[in-house]
Copies of this chain bind each other. A is one copy, B any other.
Amino acid sequence: MKVAVDAMGGDHAPSAVVEGAVLAARAHAIEVVLVGVRPQVEAELARHRIRGLPLHVHHAAEVVAMDDHPAQAIRRKKDSSLRVAFDLVKTGHADAVVSAGNSGAFMAGALLVLGRLEAVERPAVASALPTVSGGRALIIDAGANTECTPVHLAQWGLCGEAYARNILGIARPKVAVLSNGTEATKGTDLTRGAYALLENAGVRFVGYVEGNDVFSGRADVIVTDGFTGNVLLKTAEGAAAGIAEMMRQEIASTAAAKAGYLLIKGALGRFKRRLDYAEYGGAPLIGVDGVAILAHGASNAVAIKNAVRVARDLVQEDLRAGLIEAAKKASVLAEKRRGKREKTP
């Protein structure tokens, strides 16, 4: 079992990425292939104690930039670290890809090189947010697809349900559609269509949830289009950062508060770790034919380490058959619904 890590992708690449790979190899004994510009990757490796660790370097001369056009970058930069990482999986030299680089190019690479899983119409990004009950809520799609249909959302709901059961260990995951109100009449044509499919899908469907339900644990799997999913995740991130900053300003304003702050610092640290995306190990692409984990662009070494661990879990579990079955089920439901509609005048 080998995980190919795009050493050149991310705001803090290659240093944080290489360090993360070292941590994953050391903590979990995972075999990692660092793909990137060899002298740069080796210079970073030289800064760590790596003797005996299952680490390899695979040279790739080019780098996909954050502002490169996704599809063009993947097609033209054939010797880029990202493209080569996917090629390694395709040719059987690795079992999974992890990258913190250009997310559009990551998606394009997964589609072009690995391809879609049978029956899945559109692969999507699944991102896990922490909830107050100590669990996580999986948001799908967290940003890959801006144009969506009800079948896409229904497929993600059922695939996400399979993921939550098999990877997150939730016995009967609650599935929901993100909307602008909880009444079934709310939402858009897209959300109402997805609602109609999921309520008959034989899963624990809890209907619509709103943005404020995401952290409450009302649902384990929440489906939405990639535009809204991106806005949701970025807003949550921005709210957390904004709240931390406003608190810092408030606490700095009196001496008693400063003293109190020193006492609660430990608790705040634990709290911050719980919120920190770094602890959550990146977002898997659900529906591509292979394991591909997209880490946050701002990933530090811990985030990369956790993304590599999630990749390992996904390879070991092999959800392939379960995901195909889930996608097919959603398509059959949509087919039935179309048939019923055509019969009713």
Binding site for B on A (CB under 8 A): 67, 69, 130-132, 143, 146-147, 178-181, 183, 185, 187-188, 210-216, 224, 226-228, 230-243, 245-247, 249-251, 253-254, 256-257, 259-268, 270-271, 274-275
Q: Is the CB of B132 within 8 A of A231?
A: no
User: Are A146 and B275 neighbours in the complex by a CB distance under 8 Å?
Assistant: no
Task: Report chain B residues within 8 Å CB of A266.
Answer: 254, 256-257
Report the minimal beta-carbon distance from A105 to chain B, rounded to whole angstroms: 13
Determine which of B214, B227, B254, B263 lies in contact with A180 in the assembled complex, contact meaning CB atoms within 8 Å: B227
Nearest-Cβ distance from residue A206 to partner chain B, whole angstroms = 16
Number of copies: 2
Q: Chain B's nearest CB lies how many Å from the CB of A208? A: 11
Across the interface, A212 reaches (CB within 8 A) one of B214, B241, B249, namely B241
Given contacts A69-B185, A239-B239, 14 further A-B contacts (CB under 8 A): A132-B249, A180-B227, A180-B231, A187-B227, A210-B234, A211-B231, A211-B233, A212-B238, A212-B241, A216-B241, A228-B228, A232-B235, A257-B266, A259-B263
CA distance A251 to B274 in the complex (A): 13
- Is A234's CB under 8 angstroms from B211's CB? yes
| Chain B residues with CB under 8 A of A263 | 256-257, 259-261, 263
Min distance, Cβ A164 to any Cβ of chain B, angstroms:
19
Cα A228 to Cα B179 with chains together (Å): 9
Residue of B nearest to A230 (CB): B180
Contact B242 A243 (CB under 8 A): no
Is the CB–CB distance between B67 and A183 below 8 Å? yes
A233 to chain B, nearest CB (A): 7
A6 to chain B, nearest CB (A): 20
How close is A140's CB to chain B, nearest CB, in angstroms? 15
12 chain-A/chain-B pairs, Cβ below 8 angstroms: A132-B242, A132-B246, A180-B227, A180-B230, A210-B234, A212-B241, A227-B228, A235-B239, A246-B275, A254-B267, A260-B261, A261-B264
| Pairwise interchain contact A247-B231, C-beta atoms closer than 8 A | no
Contact across chains for A267 and B274 when beta carbons are under 8 A apart: no
